[in-house]
Structure 1
Amino acid sequence: MSYDGESFSDVRGFDLSGAPDDTRFIIGDLQIGVTYRDQYLLVNYDPQAPQRTGFRGVPTFEPDPGWVLRGRLDRYAAPKSVDFDTVGTDKSTYTSPGVITFTHAGREHTLTPTSSPSGMVVVFADATSGVTTYGACRSLSVPEPDQDGTVVLDFNRALNLPCAFSGMPVCPVAPAGNRLPFAVEAGEKTPHSQQH
């Protein structure tokens, strides 16, 4: 196997306490991912797995400019730690820069985003969750706000998280405040592999 550019065939021990999430060990065509979520999790990545070779894409709603909404990020005085329940373990802790407020159908709603390298991510559920979209949540990348705090929520870009495709990954679940009371008929639907 190999790890971090070094190949070996003897028994090795590794201190992964400071390693990045989803550290990969390579064994031939296989990769073994090591993730820590209150316990170590091992995930097998097999390029010949039937789920991969038989993948038929992801169904989506038709793009609709009506689902491109403007909102406002109200920043906290300092970023806050927020705990989300997860699919697979108890909780995961993220950093949130503030609260996004937006209006849909004449009513005001709020979402708690988490920080990401490219801006923010909102993990949300809505009235389609568990019906036409994956039940736990979907995610939406939100670019950094304008100077006045304006953000664009393009729900056409709502994506399934890895747990929608397999029971192995650990993914956050939309917190209560990110459960929208209306149907967001935009973005990705439930993957074919999960449909009955």
Structure 2
Amino acid sequence: MSDDEATTAWRRWHEQRVATVSAPYGPLALTGTHWLSESVPEDLEGRIPAVPGRWRAGADGVLVSACAEDGLELDGKPLDGEALLAADAGRPADSRLAAGEVRLVVIRREGEWAVRTYDPGSAARRAFRGIEATPYDPAFALPGRFRPYGEDRTVQVENADGRARGLGLGGELLFEYGGARHALHVAVDADDGSLWAVFADATSGDSSYRFRFLRPGTPGPDGGITVDLNRALLPPCAFADHFICPFPPPGNTLPFAAAAGERRLKGALVAGN
């Protein structure tokens, strides 16, 4: 691919990213993550503040009960009774459960259940002015190689909500920049073998958000893969405080300025917020 073609492809990617995050039920619409072990004290009898219905976590899912006055709809029909919900696997816009325009999404993390609320009228979505991103620079599209560990590893890392959780890693992404060799510890998707990294660099917390994501795709049979920092992504927690994004694991802070890709929200006064 020529530099002109790569620039055009990057521009389309950036436009699609802006459209995706600003969609009615995109990341900007998240208004709450309610952990059932914390948000449902016994004296509230299963009530989550600002969320209709009554909720209870079980071994096999989340039990929600509601009456017609609660205004909940399940699969497009009023919920008047009980329903057992598994974790949502699709987009928030496709959630089975709704309260008016708000979508309710069930998630599970390390055995704990939570209910997320997505509101297209959220303050974050109304205030969104775009994503500040550096135009495509071919110097940041680097040849790399994936080196698997041979067995999966899990490291405990702090998350954006202040809790430490396990982050599964499957290998290293190796590449060179500025005459030096670098490596990022990466997760490997069990379905398609694609790679994912959470990393920081010399711009983090200054001219870029405090950390970013990179999804370089699936390596070839020989492990070859392009490490394109032009497609560095803002993590979901850059758009809403209620996401629980993991921070970079040890070793994933690059010593150089990766002045490429998505940097921060337009209008952000502090890059790490």
CA distance in 2, matches of 1:82, 1:7: 43
Q: Deviations over 1:132-159 (max 9, x none)?
A: 1111x11111121122211211000001
Counterpart in the other structure of 1:164: 238
Map of 2:108 onto structure 1: 36
Instruction: Give the deviation of 1:50 after TM superposition.
Output: 3.0
Alpha-carbon distance in structure 2 between the residues aligned to 1:91 and 1:54: 30
Aligned to 2:207: 132
Specify the alignment match of 2:99 in structure 1.
27
- 2:73 alignment partner in structure 1: 2
Corresponding position of 2:262: 188
TM-superposed CA distance for 1:90, in Å, is 2.1
SS in 2 for 1:156: helix
TM-score (norm 2): 0.63
Distance between the aligned counterparts of 1:81 and 1:64, measured in 2? 34
Instruction: Check conservation: 1:64, 1:186, Cα contact below 8 A.
Output: yes
Distance 2:133 2:240 in 1: 18
Aligned equivalents of 2:84 and 2:162: distance in 1?
23
Query: How far apart are residue 79 of structure 1 and its match?
Result: 2.9
1:75 alignment partner in structure 2: 148
Give the aligned CA root-mean-square deviation in angstroms. Answer: 2.4
**Which residue of 2 is the match for residue 152 of structure 1?**
226
- Please report how far the alpha carbon of residue 19 of structure 1 lies from its aligned counterpart in structure 2 after TM superposition: 5.4
The whole-number CA distance in structure 2 between the counterparts of 1:59 and 1:131 is: 13
SS in 1 for 2:230: helix
Give the Cα–Cα distance (whole angstroms) in 2 for the partners of residues 100 and 66 of structure 1.
18
- Range 122-131 or range 72-81, more displaced: 72-81
Distance 1:114 1:120, change over 3 A: same
- Structure 1: which 5+ runs fail to align? none
**Deviation sequence 1:94-135 (CA, Å, 0-9, x none):** 432211221111111111111234511111000111111111
Corresponding residue SS for 2:263? coil
Between Structure 1 and Structure 2, the one with more helix by share is 2
SS of 1:172's equivalent in the other structure is coil
Is the CA contact (8 Å cut-off) linking 1:94 and 1:115 kept in structure 2? no
| Native 8 Å contact 2:145 2:223 kept in 1 | yes
* Bigger relative contact order, structure 1 or 2 (CA pairs below 8 A, ≥6 apart): 1
1:174 to 232, 239, 248: 248
Of 169-178 and 19-28, deviating more is: 19-28
CA contact (8 A) 1:21 1:35 kept: no
Cα drift, residue 67 of structure 1: 0.2
Aligned length: 193
Higher-Rg member (1/2): 2
The Cα offsets for residues 46-97 of structure 1, whole Å up to 9 and x where unpaired, read as 1122321332110101210000011221112233334332111523334322
Please tell me whether the aligned partners of residues 21 and 36 of structure 1 are also in contact (alpha carbons under 8 angstroms): no
User: Is the 1:158–1:186 Cα contact (8 Å) retained in structure 2?
Assistant: yes
